[in-house]
């Protein structure tokens, strides 16, 4: 098949943005390199949008909102159904794009990134079909209406997955959109704009403006005709967007950083708990905001847990992400590689016990952003590797002497995005989960659930994505008293 990069070049869309139903050249002169994570070489340079492009996109979305917000749920569900079908038909192209732009192993792109992204569109369609936009409470009508024009800011680590997690419910709610994807992983966003065009969405309902955070993201956040911003990114980026949005008092939904705990209870199946815990921490090469990167185990079981953790890493295959037997590819970009190297060095300096991995590239790699899957044990909660989000394949193992202490360690963080609890006695597992301050808690490694609301406590953000709650973020509530008198 033609590579996604060659396809976008031949269509001309690689050099364009999508505004008001048309592909158009950005007004600015800024460009950004698309770097191959496996080699560190620049594949191509892409143009970026600027303030003029932001203004054009916002005005297009504002004009389109009048009609789109008045469409029936059935009509919007029809568009979402077409988007879902087209994404599934083009799944391999999206998978190839993800491997090219951010180094996701091709099998993981095919089996997780792309199908999960398509699921967000299906869920938005299904929830829309049954959602009560008007309910009666006495003689009052409680009406939920689309909030307006929404700026959606998405990250580089799960590029298409986060796009559909926002676009699907926003469209279902009746909102119009200006999407700013990460300039570090632009291919899947451009391919999604092609899907939007093929699905026949009315002009201005969906607009794509590539660009940097300061040039495009913060301008969108500050714009007076943007009614809501939804951002997935670092806590630092979320703070900057919220500050830019504050003068216009618009709604800001933030899905931000994490340092998720994984509590292994004394009665857990230790082999399963540790092996799957390492896999969960290192999925997507550890570049997931909810990755459970603190493995909290009973002190008496720590030596055995260490052996199991090392064995889990030994079974991983780090390599060329286009090879189907590769389980873990490179980190997505140079900045993240350098961040991971810095934090591994910090763990060593803090005298944590290095079990496996360490600084530098794995043996046999002399270029690209390949890092060694690394596990530290004998980690304390006051160490930087236990407190800071590393966003790479680095796992900290912490020991506890009582369940109360395990819960205290789990909650000893400024974050609260995801958490895991492992154990045989379900009542105890549930009781521990109830005590953890986190937006999601996974018990005994359940299947992914696109209907489970996702979002954070504390500095992991506010608002929710996925499921009905994800759509409700894009709705305002109006009370009409006397409606049923």
What confidence score (pLDDT) does residue 28 get?
Answer: 83
Task: Quickly list DSSP for 326-382.
Answer: -SB---SSHHHHHHHHHHHHHHHHTT-EEEE--SSPPTT--SSS----EEEES--TT
What confidence score (pLDDT) does residue 94 get?
Answer: 98
What confidence score (pLDDT) does residue 1 get?
Answer: 77
Question: What's the average model confidence in pLDDT over 121-135?
Answer: 98
Give 387's pLDDT tier (boundaries 50, 70, 90). Answer: very high
pLDDT digits (tens, 9 = 90+) for 285-313: 999 999 999 999 999 999 999 999 999 99
pLDDT digits (tens, 9 = 90+) for 368-385: 999 999 999 999 999 999
Neighbours of 10 (CB within 10 A): 10
What confidence score (pLDDT) does residue 107 get?
Answer: 98
- Please, what CATH class does the domain formed by 261-448 belong to? alpha beta
Q: Which of 193, 177, 182, 211 is nearest to 12 (CA)?
A: 193
pLDDT digits (tens, 9 = 90+) for 414-458: 999 999 999 999 999 999 999 999 999 999 999 999 999 999 999
What confidence score (pLDDT) does residue 122 get?
Answer: 98
Neighbours of 389 (CB within 10 A): 23
* Percent of the chain with pLDDT strictly greater than 70: 100
Question: What's the average model confidence in pLDDT over 471-485?
Answer: 97
Answer yes or no: is pLDDT of 324 > 80. Answer: yes
For helices 114-130 and 159-173, angle between their N-to-C axes, nearest 10 degrees: 10
Catalytic residues: 255, 289
Answer yes or no: is pLDDT of 198 > 80. Answer: yes
Question: What's the average model confidence in pLDDT over 172-181?
Answer: 98
What confidence score (pLDDT) does residue 110 get?
Answer: 98
Q: Which of 419, 418, 398 is nearest to 409 (CA)?
A: 398
**Domain ranges for the chain:** 4-256+460-480, 261-448
Query: Is the domain covering 4-256+460-480 a CATH 3.30.420.10 domain?
Result: no
Answer yes or no: is pLDDT of 168 > 90. Answer: yes
Answer yes or no: is pLDDT of 176 > 90. Answer: yes
Asked whether the domain spanning 261-448 has the same topology as the one spanning 4-256+460-480, the reply is no
Give 466's pLDDT tier (boundaries 50, 70, 90). Answer: very high
pLDDT digits (tens, 9 = 90+) for 220-257: 999 999 999 999 999 999 999 999 999 999 999 999 99
Q: Whole-number mean pLDDT of the chain? A: 97
């Amino acid at each position: 098949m033609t590579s996604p990069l060659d396809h976008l070049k031949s269509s001309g869309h690689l050099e364009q943005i999508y505004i008001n139903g048309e592909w158009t050249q950005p007004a600015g002169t800024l460009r950004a390199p698309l770097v191959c994570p496996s080699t560190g070489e620049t594949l191509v340079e892409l143009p970026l949008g600027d303030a003029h492009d932001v203004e054009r996109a916002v005005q297009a979305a504002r004009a389109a909102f009048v009609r789109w917000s008045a469409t029936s749920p059935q009509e919007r569900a029809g568009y979402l159904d077409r988007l879902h079908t087209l994404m599934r038909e083009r799944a391999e192209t999206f998978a190839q794009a993800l491997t090219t732009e951010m180094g996701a192993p091709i099998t993981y792109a095919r089996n997780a990134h792309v199908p999960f992204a398509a699921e967000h569109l299906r869920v938005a369609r299904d929830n829309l079909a049954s959602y009560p936009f008007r309910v009666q409470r006495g003689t009052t009508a409680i009406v939920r209406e689309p909030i307006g024009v929404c700026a959606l800011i998405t990250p580089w680590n799960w590029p298409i997955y986060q796009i559909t997690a926002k676009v699907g419910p926003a469209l279902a709610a009746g909102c119009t959109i200006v999407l700013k994807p990460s300039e570090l992983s632009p291919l899947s966003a451009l391919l999604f704009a092609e899907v939007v065009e093929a699905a026949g969405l009315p002009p201005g309902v969906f607009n794509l403006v590539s660009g940097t955070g300061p040039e495009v993201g913060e301008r969108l956040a500050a714009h007076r005709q943007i009614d809501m911003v939804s951002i997935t990114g670092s806590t630092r980026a979320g703070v900057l967007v919220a500050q830019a949005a504050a003068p216009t008092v618009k709604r800001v939904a933030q899905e931000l950083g994490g340092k998720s705990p994984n509590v292994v209870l004394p009665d857990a199946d230790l082999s399963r708990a540790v092996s799957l815990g390492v896999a969960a921490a290192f999925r997507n090469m550890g570049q997931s905001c909810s990755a459970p990167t603190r493995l909290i185990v009973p002190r008496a079981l720590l030596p055995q847990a260490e052996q199991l953790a090392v064995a889990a890493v030994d079974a991983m295959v780090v390599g060329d992400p286009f090879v189907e037997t590769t389980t873990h590819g490179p980190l997505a970009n140079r900045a993240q590689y350098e961040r991971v190297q810095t934090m591994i060095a910090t763990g060593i300096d803090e005298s944590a016990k290095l079990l496996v991995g360490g600084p530098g590239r794995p043996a046999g790699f002399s270029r690209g952003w390949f890092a060694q899957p690394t596990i530290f044990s004998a980690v304390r909660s006051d160490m930087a590797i236990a407190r800071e989000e590393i966003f790479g394949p680095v796992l900290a193992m912490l020991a506890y002497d009582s369940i109360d202490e395990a819960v205290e360690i789990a909650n000893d963080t400024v974050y609260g995005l995801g958490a895991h609890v492992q154990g045989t006695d379900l009542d105890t597992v549930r009781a521990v989960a109830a005590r953890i301050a986190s937006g999601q808690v996974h018990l005994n490694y359940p299947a992914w659930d696109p209907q489970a609301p996702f979002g954070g406590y504390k500095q992991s953000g506010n608002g929710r994505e996925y499921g009905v709650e994800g759509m409700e973020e894009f709705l305002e509530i109006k009370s009409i008293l006397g409606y049923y008198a």
